[in-house]
């Protein structure tokens, strides 16, 4: 098989930090099919040779899981090409078509790693240049739209040029190893399925916590905020993975149909619900790992009076037979105490206990950890074999811990590498369909609308903490604590 991958925005941060390293790793491990060529397209003046040097220099700034191999990079670089492009000039697209047509390829991937405001213009220009043929796959990075209306607008423009089966909308969380493992755990094992329902599960908690602030993305982030940046996409996709019914196959549309049903079953928020079930916050100055960090409002590019949220915690409900009444708590934030992402499935207590109260009040819990390492832990209660009289005969929590690095003995594949390989292979199962995206935007819109009317509801929290205290109150009302509070 032969392939060509074209990266618009080939000199941008995403390209050199994530996309090119992913292609390089896939190449180095022989995971790419057959012969390929990669083209970086951007405004800057480079030729193939100067781009290769530029990329080598950028690669030297990255930290690699395995020592960087100059020889492998030299081989990889032979595939790399560069095309200077002016996105508003039809001539540039003619040159691109000439490069694509120079030698035939089975799969042609065009990855738009540019600002999303350029997507419409690029897609229409590709169409005019005849670059919408069926062998072309178009990859779109998030954010795809700022709200429901703009998301529909962009998607309609893209779909006026390409067919839905040609469009690969990225949510890089779907490429993470642990999300693959969640699918495997649920649908490759019979053990959990009978328990995976409201009769046995009391609540679900999904957290994506970051210790970093907005870094150099203040200007973008201040117009986005955590709800658009993380909840509308990553957190809702994780919720879908937990809540979806078993698909009839691993075929892309079978999986995506099931996720869509979940998104459509989410209970809509009224304005009163937003006040009661959604907490938003913004970080003030604080300290992380002993280092003082500044407030969000003092970050470059951020409005000094900004009311944009850097933290969200909310309570969602999936209204169907499997999940009715089970709260799904979603939480994400920047400048939190530590970096970590996990899904916690809390099981109900036993109906009648014959034991004394356990040491530490624990119910069974399944923890699917995505970050910093992939792991799955099953928390059980066991007889503590301790001499201490007070503890004799009592139950204590103990975890069955599956560490994937230990089990499979190798580095897991990075999300972008997995996703790029899927695009080249033409598999859409880890990409988001337009109707999923529309359903996700529809669900978050009442929250955005309510916040626009009540900017004062954004609560401060000190950097290095777990967000505003109201986030603890949100779960405490139902007798639930967040993992770090246990």
What is the nearest approach in angstroms of ligand BG6 to the Cβ of residue 225? 10
Spell 254-282 as b/e; 16+ CB within 10 A means b. ebbbbbbbbbebbeebeeebbeebbbbbb
Q: What are the structure tokens assigned to 162, written together?
A: 């390409």
Q: Which one, 9 or 36, has the nearer CB to ligand BG6? A: 9
Q: Which one, 210 or 342, has the nearer CB to ligand BG6? A: 210
Please tell me the distance from the alpha carbon of residue 216 to that of residue 207, in angstroms, as a whole number: 24
Query: In the annotation, is 234 catalytic?
Result: yes
Concatenate the DSSP letters of all residues of 102-115 into one string.
HS--SEEEEEE-S-
What is the nearest approach in angstroms of ligand BG6 to the Cβ of residue 314? 18
Neighbouring residues of 268: CB distance < 8 A, sequence distance ≥ 6: 443, 446
- Pairing relationship of beta strands 107-112 and 136-140 according to DSSP bridges: parallel
Q: Which one, 37 or 176, has the nearer CB to ligand BG6? A: 176
Q: Can you tell me whether residue 156 is helix, strand or coil?
A: helix
Q: Which one, 100 or 288, has the nearer CB to ligand BG6? A: 288
Q: Which one, 68 or 220, has the nearer CB to ligand BG6? A: 220
Note the Cα 283 to chain centre separation in Å: 22
Please tell me the distance from the alpha carbon of residue 412 to that of residue 404, in angstroms, as a whole number: 8
CB of 405 closer than 8 Å to CB of 379: no
Phi and psi at residue 196, to the nearest 5°: -85, 65
Please tell me the distance from the alpha carbon of residue 398 to that of residue 393, in angstroms, as a whole number: 15
Please tell me the distance from the alpha carbon of residue 415 to that of residue 417, in angstroms, as a whole number: 5
What is the C-alpha radius of gyration for the chain, rounded to an integer number of angstroms? 24
Q: Is 229 in the site for ligand BG6 (CB under 6 A)?
A: yes
Q: Which one, 51 or 221, has the nearer CB to ligand BG6? A: 221
Q: DSSP label at 143?
A: P
Pick from 210, 299, 309, 414 the residue near ligand BG6 by CB under 6 A.
Answer: 210
Q: Is 141 in the site for ligand BG6 (CB under 6 A)?
A: no
Please tell me the distance from the alpha carbon of residue 282 to that of residue 306, in angstroms, as a whole number: 9
CB of 339 closer than 8 Å to CB of 371: yes
Query: Which residue has its beta carbon closest to ligand BG6?
Result: 229
Q: In the window 356-375, what residues touch ligand BG6 (CB under 6 A)? A: 371
Q: Which one, 73 or 283, has the nearer CB to ligand BG6? A: 283
Question: How many residues line the site for ligand BG6 (CB under 6 A)?
Answer: 3
Q: Which one, 111 or 277, has the nearer CB to ligand BG6? A: 111
How far separated are the first and last CA of the chain, in Å rounded? 52
- Helix (H) or strand (E) holding 242, with range, is helix 236-243
Peptide bond just before 143 cis, omega within 30 deg: yes
Q: Which one, 210 or 222, has the nearer CB to ligand BG6? A: 210
Cα distances (angstroms) measured from residue 56 to each of 32, 159, 437: 20, 36, 36
CB of 128 closer than 8 Å to CB of 90: yes
CB burial of residue 428 (10 Å; 0-12, 13-18, 19+) = buried
Spell 145-165 as b/e; 16+ CB within 10 A means b. bbebeebeebbebbeebbeee
Q: Is 436 in the site for ligand BG6 (CB under 6 A)?
A: no
Set 46, 81, 172, 234: catalytic member? 234
What is the nearest approach in angstroms of ligand BG6 to the Cβ of residue 28? 21
Please tell me the distance from the alpha carbon of residue 212 to that of residue 483, in angstroms, as a whole number: 20
What is the nearest approach in angstroms of ligand BG6 to the Cβ of residue 44? 24
Residues in the site for ligand BG6, rule: CB under 6 A? 210, 229, 371
Active site residues: 234
């Amino acid at each position: 098989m032969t392939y060509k991958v074209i990266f618009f925005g080939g000199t941008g941060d995403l390209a050199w930090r994530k996309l090119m390293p992913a292609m390089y790793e896939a190449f180095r491990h022989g995971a790419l099919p057959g012969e390929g060529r990669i083209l970086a397209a951007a405004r800057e003046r480079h030729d193939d040779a100067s781009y290769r040097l530029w990329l080598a220099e950028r690669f030297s700034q990255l930290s690699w899981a395995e020592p960087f191999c100059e020889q492998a990079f030299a081989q990889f670089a032979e595939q790399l090409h560069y095309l200077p492009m002016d996105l508003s000039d039809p001539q540039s697209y003619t040159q691109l078509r000439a490069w694509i047509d120079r030698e035939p390829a089975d799969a042609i991937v065009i990855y738009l790693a540019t600002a999303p405001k350029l997507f419409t213009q690029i897609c229409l220009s590709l169409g005019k240049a005849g670059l919408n043929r069926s062998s072309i796959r178009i990859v779109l990075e998030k954010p795809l739209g700022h709200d429901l209306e703009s998301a529909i607008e962009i998607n309609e423009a893209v779909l006026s040029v390409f067919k839905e089966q040609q469009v690969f909308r990225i949510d890089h969380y779907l490429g993470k190893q642990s999300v693959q493992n969640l699918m495997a755990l649920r649908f490759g094992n019979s053990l959990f399925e009978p328990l995976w329902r409201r009769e046995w599960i009391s609540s679900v908690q999904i957290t994506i916590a970051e210790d970093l602030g907005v870094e150099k993305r203040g200007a973008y982030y201040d117009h986005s905020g955590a709800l658009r940046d993380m909840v509308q996409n990553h957190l809702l996709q994780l919720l879908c993975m937990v809540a979806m019914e078993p698909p009839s196959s691993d075929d892309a549309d079978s999986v995506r149909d099931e996720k869509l049903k979940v998104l459509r079953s989410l209970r809509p928020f009224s304005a009163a619900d937003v006040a009661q079930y959604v907490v938003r916050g913004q970080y003030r100055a604080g300290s992380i790992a002993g280092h003082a960090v500044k407030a969000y409002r003092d970050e470059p590019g951020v409005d000094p009076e900004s009311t944009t949220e850097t933290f969200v915690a909310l309570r969602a409900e999936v209204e169907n037979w499997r999940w009715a009444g089970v709260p799904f708590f979603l939480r994400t934030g920047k400048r939190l105490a530590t970096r970590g992402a996990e899904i916690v499935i809390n099981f109900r207590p036993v109906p009648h206990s014959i034991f004394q109260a356990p040491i530490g009040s624990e119910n069974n819990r399944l923890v699917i950890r995505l970050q910093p390492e992939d792991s799955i832990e099953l928390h059980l209660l066991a007889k503590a074999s301790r001499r201490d009289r007070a503890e004799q005969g009592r139950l204590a929590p103990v975890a069955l811990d599956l560490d994937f690095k230990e089990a499979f003995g190798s580095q897991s594949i990075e999300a972008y590498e997995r996703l790029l390989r899927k695009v080249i292979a033409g598999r859409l199962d880890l990409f988001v369909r337009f109707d999923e995206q529309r359903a996700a935007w529809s669900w978050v819109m009442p929250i955005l609308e309510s916040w626009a009317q009540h900017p004062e509801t954004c609560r401060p929290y000190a950097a290095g903490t777990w967000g505003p205290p109201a986030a603890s109150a949100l779960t405490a009302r139902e007798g639930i604590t967040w993992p770090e509070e246990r």
